[in-house]
Structure 1
Amino acid sequence: MARRSAEEFLHFEHAPTKPLLNLAAREIQEREQFVLLDEQQVAVEVVMQAVERARAAATRTVVVVLGGPGSGKSVIALSLLGELARKGRRVHHATGSSAFTNTMRKIAGRRNRRVQTLFKYFNDYMESEPRELDVLICDEAHRIRETSVKRYTPRQLREKAGRQIDELINVASVPVFLLDENQTVRPGEMGSLAEITAAADALRCRLEVVRLAGQFRCGGSDAFDTWVARLLGLDRLPPVPWSKLGDDFVVASAASPDALDAWLRQRMDSHGGTGRLSAGYCWRWSDPESTPDGRRLVDDVVIGGWRRPWNAKPGQRVPDAPESYYWASDERGFGQVGCIYTAQGFEYDWSGVIFGPDLVRRDGRWIARREYSHDPAAKKADDLEFGRLVRNTYKVLLTRGMQGTCLYSTDPETQAFLEEMAG
């Protein structure tokens, strides 16, 4: 069955709009779309060697791949998935992201739904037997949670549920974890090198760690990723104007939301590519409203006279708007504001980011303000963790653009700082 699914996987047709997904689909079909950099190739070889050891000597190896935005973690994951599937290995790709998993199921399983079973969630392995798989590829492993128990988990499973990290390790001979420890954006997300190392040691698994440096995007900028880390205080070095670090990547600030909209449209019109607008979770997120013409999204994001809706809520379909999972990859997503949970894990050419009042600049430092957050999950965190989660949120939003990013803040003092840093 695994070999049959793999063969089916190699012959699907696809029409994604997102460059990474375009490349991923062709990679799995044609095998040669990704030219891996040295460290990325090392990561793939480490996994393939671990698979051979497991088959020859029944050893178990946990592989951790660490890298920042654009370092090629998802490229490695999808390269591994294609190669292992072609070899007939029992392999799954798993994430904690509904948007990413649903998008990959849609692309890879467009012609044959059985292919969709290769794409899973972290909480799908509560009832799995040990070593059911040869390899489990855990993409965005920073989103691993303490337990796989959900709201609707049956009582009998709740009573015997263990730690999610242990389930993910136990289900495969070679579990692979790809993570960026600065992308944790919700309380309870606990994927980290320390947690994985401790779990691997407790389960008596060999551990191998590969660290990625630099960036691998269809565009993108290593200098910009460094600039963002310094801008948000996630680096020990202080913020610095983009002009002192800059390369061909475009960084700009906008004086208003209308100007931000105009910047995105101008860039798409003159340079092509996809553009998306995202924002911190500082406005309520309403259910669609009913009108005589049908259901429509509510313009929840209001800044002065400027109004836009959030992307659609999960499971709530609205005419002329993509489902929440496909906001980043469907061209109809341009008219809505994306939140962290639909933007994370995706890339687009041109990115506009609105800083809301939950993170402001005061006296040369960032202040996180819980009272302005509408994120029900993040608001449960204590003050220290809330500040970390909010800064990580803006780090993720800022690093989605592959060719350029434009920034705007609703707070005047923060806006002045962003204008200075974008110069």
Structure 2
Amino acid sequence: MSQMLPGVLRRSRLRSASALLSLVMAVSACGQQDNAETLVSPLPDRFADVVERGQYLARAGDCVACHTQVGEPEFSGGKAIPTPFGRIYSSNLTSDKVSGLGQWSADDFWQALHHGKSKDGRSLYPAFPYPSYSHMTRDDSDALFAYLQTVPAVDRTPPAHELEFPYNTQLALNVWRLLFFRPEVFEADAQRSESWNRGAYLVQGPGHCAACHTPRGRLGNSQTRYELAGAHIDGLEWDALPLTRGNLPQGDRHALVELLKRGANEHDVLSGPMAEVVLHSLQYLSREDLAAMVDYLFSLPAGESPPATQLSVSADLAHQLYESGKQLYADDCADCHGSDGQGEPYRIPALAGNRGVTAASPNNAIRSLLDGGFGASTEERPRPHGMPPFAHQLDDWQAAAVLTYIRQSWGNEATAVAPETLRQH
């Protein structure tokens, strides 16, 4: 796979996207003819390679996660995306000529991906992360479009967006674009390696990592002063952890590649929204691309962290919570995570030194404790272990106590968790 993936500066062999699409349509038409049982003829190798590259890019962009409603065909749209301004419903990306992209051209698709404009010229809402996708090259846009044109047509029109006034107007959206959006294609840094540039391209462009890991302002704009410094994900009630230097797991970079590829490594297991990213996207990327992304992220400066709001806990209360939590942990947690908090390699995450546990905000730890959940099911780890929910078993005091104990044991030095914090979840 990695041999067929071009570098960010390599040009496609196609002279134009329209030539590819014309051939796709012609071959399909010849395959159908009068006999309904006639199979569609295969595409020539060079065009099949472009379509395959487009599928790879669709996975790198995690397109299926937002454009597929549970129980519906892939890419048929209609999935509700919660925002602070109301619900936005994803569009149909199948080849359907009425509700999908069947009547679109490669130029129309480039206009959406790079400029954030629909086929009819309307401005698109940035819940579709075109501020990141605008970094993608035209060749990659054309390859992605070529792949989507091969997705079976599904006649399914998504519901109308449910946004409050004035956020439901094109005027407000165009003002937002004027203030916060400038389309720009990724430019390689000649002073950096090819691998670093590939990683930067994937993180900034198709991977659109900033969409979750960079905090938003009141108008939904990315706060670039906190680029990739971590953020709360509105509507999902999880935190995207910081990806800047000093915040990533220290030590073997290979272990981080394994975490992204398998959803687990010797010490960590990804959960929550990141488990879904691994499920739909990262597990399909080559290890070379994942290593390139890790190299790029490790090169980022530490930067400034966004403020984390947390209820303060007095020293006396913190001590009480810790002592209560010690017994609760022994009763309910130690059998899996170990009395030393080391977990079990590739199966149960270690709690000692766990970034999700020791983050400034205890939000992710609270979500895991109350809701439980599973890691990602991947080709290399098809049956992940799960954690049961404890919301029905622990009251606010008990949950705060066990979380306080975990956040302050085995070398962890995070703050205590106030019982009042649990009442907000």
Q: TM-score, normalised by structure 1?
A: 0.26
Q: Which has the higher contact order (CA 8 A, sep 6+)?
A: 1
TM-score under structure 2 length normalisation: 0.26
Q: Which structure has more strand as a fraction of its residues?
A: 1
Which of these two proteins has the greater Rg computed from alpha carbons?
Answer: 2
